[in-house]
Structure 1
């Protein structure tokens, strides 16, 4: 359904009140209830009000979805059509996403509390662009004819794997889903997608739009449900060929076990992060670095797996930099997510806000509060926390090590390049890192020493569809985005032809 772009807060609230929301699962091209009729309340964290009831699937429903996906794949109605036909369908889907951008943005905002303007101006266009980019790549992928002995020819072809299971998180419901679904579908696979329990609505709507675009029934199935039950059913299912996941390290480790216990399904795991932002005294413009540090820590309420939540700053500029970041953090004060002037929104749930607040309280008690550190009630919900900056914590403090996933930035001083690298790498994670310096030599040296899947130099958390995203160590393995993501959803097959 196309919704005209609103111009003010009242318009978004009016649209939210009028929006017809279907919380049923999508299996074999049809909206359907869970087999046992079970539902779960989908709650808007910014108000505490129930948005709708969402189907809560179990193992039987997962099996139904997998069987539909397998039938679609084996039947060839998507897997064996021409690349140009798949391209046309996915381009139509990208167009439909843009036509329905207001609705999709509103669903993400209502589901997980993010500012609707952010979802409308960044997340939905980014998701549509991802589908469009992979669609445009589909007929440009080539196979190989390697060198062989005379009298023989070998063909190396990239083959779709079959049924892809995708499990995605609640912080970027539509955009991260597009990172998984677009390359999987481009290769001709069928997909069973389990969105996060707390934010399934935009992806359920996406499945409707995919059918409207011409995607055959059974090729994209969306099955909302609890991770402990639905996630386990996917991890253990013997007919899922590859499972792609973004979420916590704890769950990623569990999925590794499921793969070994079942059919050794391929896994692509993007897990936790605790990214460092290293600021050297020779940085050309400390204010720019501070503005970006605030964005890297507080954007999307700090609910970003690659958030630059640890600032390491050279001692000579420590105090000045903390002051500048505190000033910049004002742009990220929380407010009503449907107010386009709000810097951030609410955290994803009251329970998550409680966890983040507990970590902040512990850090405040054990360190020095430089800025923020307030919990606010807005529209009856207390899931709002102001940007918080804390320093002078013990080097072994849990807040410096554990993923908090909220608007908390810690600051640590260093005196040498070697010390900065040691502190930055001193976590179990290796998803991302940033560094600021006016020295090209230092930029190369430190970037090479940082253990991270993406190192951003003189910016923070750099990301684009053309570059791979993923981590080292306990941030998992596998890569989203870029042509390298195609490797997750395909396998190389050699056909050797002997002539004599």
Structure 2
């Protein structure tokens, strides 16, 4: 392997970004968190934890900036966001290193793919600024009725560690495009890249206070942000458990709208007429090993027709064995490290309990250490069925469960099982079968004859059902969620017609 950069050479700004400037202090408590590199286990920096006072400072900065940003002409706001996207694109290598050095994202993808996608989201929603239209509703000649779209105001954004730049910008971009100001809390494990991106917003001409970043954990910083009385809207991506706690905190502190993009347990439903098995095996393997399976829409359940199961499983196994573990800064790495020892212990426990319950390990099944980094061998578990933890719960690692079926109804029933509903895949060359199965699966996104998103899919909404949350990211729906609708009724009649009013007070 060749190193793409030396990790010790990556200087970071372990600080908050508030009202257009670096804020080093962690607040009155001055608590600091260690940011550990998962590739080698070394501490890269100490992160200041934003307490309630620091969060309040960021929220008030966003509140002060909100009226002028919302009042800006949409096309001018769009030009600023497009310029912002161009600057992010120009700094892709630098931002990618800030991302990959402390995350599970390999530099070969983090710079060109992750940061490139983030820049495209900013440009995409910059072009949307003057296309978020209201409507005129039907009324008689003596009245005029319209529905206007307005920004919520101050938006709190909380994002996870697995794809920090992508998952942050696909919220930040539409929030800003709709006229909101933002306070972002990235994961405390991957905090650096978004501070640099926020600095570029100022270079693009976006006013100070419009885009702020606070650092810290969920219990202190996250809770202070989501329950702040001056935050008007909350959007979160992360685990279903944390999403539930955020809803409870908001409900206890005051009512405000919230959008949650949570966990998943995606089925890859493969019919016997799926086409070339090598192509299907590529998708199935990539669906559970990309980023070492640390993604919410991982295709972690293979539901395959028994006639082709053995052959497909062997092809997937061969591909899993060919993956090469390594540091995120090494150019030949194809199996990323696991973000933390805690995550390794969790997935190890799930696999061990599955084996104790009668599952069969077809390959992998254990964690290992390499040059100080934590890894988990790509794993396939056969003999699992709905009701088993390994089959029902999100593992968030490179672990694929294998279930077989004899007929179409059984296959769809297996793919539908479970409480998650984020994404799924269907493989069949019979378009009628594929479409019929797609309509019957409980998933917010269904891919046919492929797994995973592409850059072009930013035009389509993404979000789940059930335990996978609610609200949509990307597409037109992604920006509509960051606005609220106001009905305005203008009455031209000299004498209002109160007799036909539905208002009981009339």
CA drift of 1:488 comes to: 1.7
SS where residue 115 of structure 2 aligns?
helix
> Residues 441-460 of structure 1: matches in 2 within 5 Å?
441-460=432-451
Q: Distance in 1 between matches of 2:272 and 2:136?
A: 53
Distance 1:377 1:262 in 2: 44
The SS at the match of 2:229 is coil
Structure 2: distance between partners of 1:271 and 1:150: 47
The one-character-per-residue Cα deviations of 1:115-135 (angstroms, maximum 9, x if unpaired) are 110112311111110111000
Q: 1:283 aligns with which of 262, 269, 274?
A: 274
Q: CA deviation at 1:142?
A: 2.4
CA contact (8 A) 2:4 2:330 kept: no
* 1:105-156 CA distance string (max 9 Å, x none): 1111112122110112311111110111000111223222222210222232
| Equivalent residues in 2 for 1:469-484, closer than 5 Å | 469-484=462-477
Q: Does the 8 Å CA contact 2:386/2:417 hold for their aligned counterparts? A: no
Gaps of 5+ in 2: 494-506
Residues 55-204 of structure 1 mapped to structure 2, 5 A cutoff: 55-74=48-67, 76=68, 78-204=69-195
Aligned mate of 1:371, from 363, 377, 399: 363
Match of 1:380 in 2: 372
Q: In structure 2, how many angstroms separate the alpha carbons of the residues matched to 1:421 and 1:256?
A: 32
1:428 aligns with 2:426: no
Out of 34, 37, 48, the position equivalent to 1:44 is 37
Distance in 1 between residues matched to 2:255 and 2:26, nearest whole Å: 28
Instruction: Give, in whole Å, the separation in 2 of the partners of 1:250 and 1:377.
Output: 28
Quote the residue 1:4 is aligned against.
none
How far did residue 40 of structure 1 move? 1.2
Q: Is the 8 A contact 2:86 2:119 kept in 1?
A: yes
Bigger Cα displacement from structure 2, 51-60 vs 468-477: 51-60
User: 1:209 aligns to what?
Assistant: 200
TM-score after normalising by structure 2: 0.93
Shift of 1:424: 1.4
Question: Deviation of residue 101 (structure 1)?
Answer: 0.7
- Does residue 297 (structure 1) correspond to residue 288 (structure 2)? The answer is yes
2-structure distance, mates of 1:352, 1:460 = 24
* Contact 1:367/1:394, CA 8 A, preserved across alignment: no
Question: Contact (CA 8 Å) 2:385, 2:403: kept in 1 or not?
Answer: no
Structure-2 residue corresponding to 1:493 = 486
TM-score normalised over the length of structure 1: 0.95
The alignment covers a number of residue pairs equal to 488
Structure 2 counterpart SS, 1:316:
coil
Give the C-alpha shift of residue 331 in structure 1. Answer: 4.7
- Give the equivalent residue in structure 1 for 2:232: 241
* CA–CA distance in structure 2, aligned partners of residues 429 and 394 of structure 1: 15
The two structures, once aligned, show a CA RMSD in angstroms of 1.5
The residue that corresponds to 2:326 in the other structure is 335
> Residue 26 of structure 2 is aligned with which of 29, 34, 39?
34
How far has the Cα of 1:299 moved from its partner? 0.4
Kindly indicate whether residue 360 of structure 2 is the aligned counterpart of residue 391 of structure 1: no
In 1, Cα distance between equivalents of 2:3 and 2:325 = 18
Matching residue within 309, 312, 319 for 1:318: 309
1:130–1:331 CA distance, 2 compared to 1 (3 A):
farther
Classify the secondary structure of the residue corresponding to 2:308: helix
Q: Is the 8 A contact 1:112 1:349 kept in 2?
A: no
Correspondence for 2:498: none
2:132–2:480 Cα contact (<8 Å) kept: no
Equivalent residue in structure 1 for 2:344, among 332, 343, 353: 353
Q: Which moved more, 1:306-315 or 1:459-468?
A: 459-468
SS at match of 1:410: strand
* Cα 1:214–1:358 shift into 2, 3 Å: same
Cα 1:473–1:394 change in 2 (3 A) is closer
8 Å Cα contact 1:114/1:344 also seen in 2: no
Partner Cα separation in structure 1 for residue 34 and residue 161 of structure 2: 15
Shift of 1:177: 0.3
1:393-444 CA-to-partner distances (Å, cap 9, x unmatched) read 3542211011110010111111121111211121110001101112111112
Alignment partner for residue 232 of structure 1, among 220, 223, 228? 223
Inter-partner Cα distance in structure 2 for 1:58 and 1:402: 33
- The worse-fitting range, judged by mean Cα deviation, of 258-267 and 313-322 is 258-267
Spell out, residue by residue over 1:330-368, the C-alpha distance to the aligned partner (whole angstroms, 9 max, x if none): 453321211111112201112212222222333344311
